[in-house]
Amino acid sequence: MLTITSPKPGETVRIQSTVQQQFLDSDRTKVKDASSYAWLSLEFKTQRDRSLGAGLTVTWEPCCEATLEISEDEGFSSPLTLSGKGECFVTVLKLATRYFARVRTATECSETVSFTTEDRAPRFLTVEGATNVRDCGGWKTKDGRRVRQGLFYRGSEIGGRINATEEGLRTLREQLGIRAVLDLRGPTAQPKDPLGADYYLNVPFSAYHNGIYILPTMHDVFKFLADKRHYPMYFHCMGGADRTGTIAFLVNALLGVSETDLADDFELTTLSLFGVRSRNSQSYLGLLSAIAAYDGETLSEKVENYLLAAGITEEEIATIREIFLED
């Protein structure tokens, strides 16, 4: 009898690695770091990439070639489908989500097993050949809502000094369903889109306070983000660290994610290949200071007023919130 042996029925599964959870649990608020990150000449600091998604291994008995189906609904509409012998490694599960799984052969189908993923942001992802890839969704806002998952992915470039493999590109196309790519690299990187997305925009962008001061560039970025046709979207610079981190900060700050979680998300680049990122760095504090100059009682209001100054309309800001915030 074909039977799923792991995960167990009703199990809550963890999709972050032990290293990632330990990093999030650590107290980094007192780290002394006066650095100003050299984002234009980004260097690899390590070959040990700890930013990859931990994923989940689904196993079944007897150990045979079979097709695994995983869905968010019990009727298995539009399931994620993978093939393997006795097991499959799943890397794209959302946080805090109930899933249904079953295994099929040509002659047999297992009973359905349901399991739930742990409720802890962020969602790290493995895109073979790339680094520093994670979902900008999953974070909770100050008013108790959640940023939608599966829409807005940040990461390294996928063609350039860092190249996603064909398997990595397949993950982006088929498992994440990427429709648009926002490329923040400058002309020296010879920007291109190896994914062949339906929509592609290259906006040479500067990180931290430097980027905040260039309003026309920010206008182009957020005009692109305000178009519902562009999702799911993958956005990147070279390393997915500084320029990408600035946009991720602004979007989630606008949506109402807490300052603590914004800083945590920024610092998670430390787990990739490009060295430490700290909330106490000159670069990050410069970003906060640039936004603090705008009116508003909350960080969200300040970012909104900044975007209005950059020429983004109130309607476009409302659309961005509608796109990203769960009801």
pLDDT at position 39, please?
75
Distance CA 223, CA 317 (A): 9
Record the tokens describing residue 114, joined without a space.
Answer: 């349901």
Count of beta carbons in the 10 Å neighbourhood of residue 83: 10
Quick check: helix, strand or coil at residue 257? strand
Angle, vertex CA 189, rays to CA 155 and CA 161, nearest 5? 60
- One fold for both 36-52+121-324 and 55-117? no
Q: How far apart are CA 39 and CA 182, in angstroms?
A: 18
- pLDDT-wise least confident of 31-35, 182-186, 320-324: 31-35
Domain ranges of the chain: 36-52+121-324, 55-117
Q: Which phi and psi (to 5°) does residue 202 adopt? A: -105, 120
The model's pTM: 0.94
Percentage of the chain exceeding pLDDT 90: 91
Nearest to 201 by CA among 164, 227, 171: 227
Predicted local distance difference test score (pLDDT) of residue 34: 62
Q: What is the pLDDT of residues 71-126, one digit of tens each?
A: 999 999 999 999 999 999 998 999 999 999 999 999 999 999 999 999 999 999 99
Quick one: pLDDT band at residue 37, thresholds 50, 70, 90? confident
pLDDT bucket at 47, cuts 50 / 70 / 90? confident
CATH architecture of the domain covering 36-52+121-324: Alpha-Beta Complex (3.90)
Compute the mean pLDDT over every residue in the chain, rounded to the nearest whole number: 95
E-strand spans in 72-147?
Answer: 80-85, 87-90, 98-104, 113-117, 123-124, 134-135
Query: Which whole number is the average pLDDT over 300-309?
Result: 98
CATH number at 55-117? 2.60.40.10
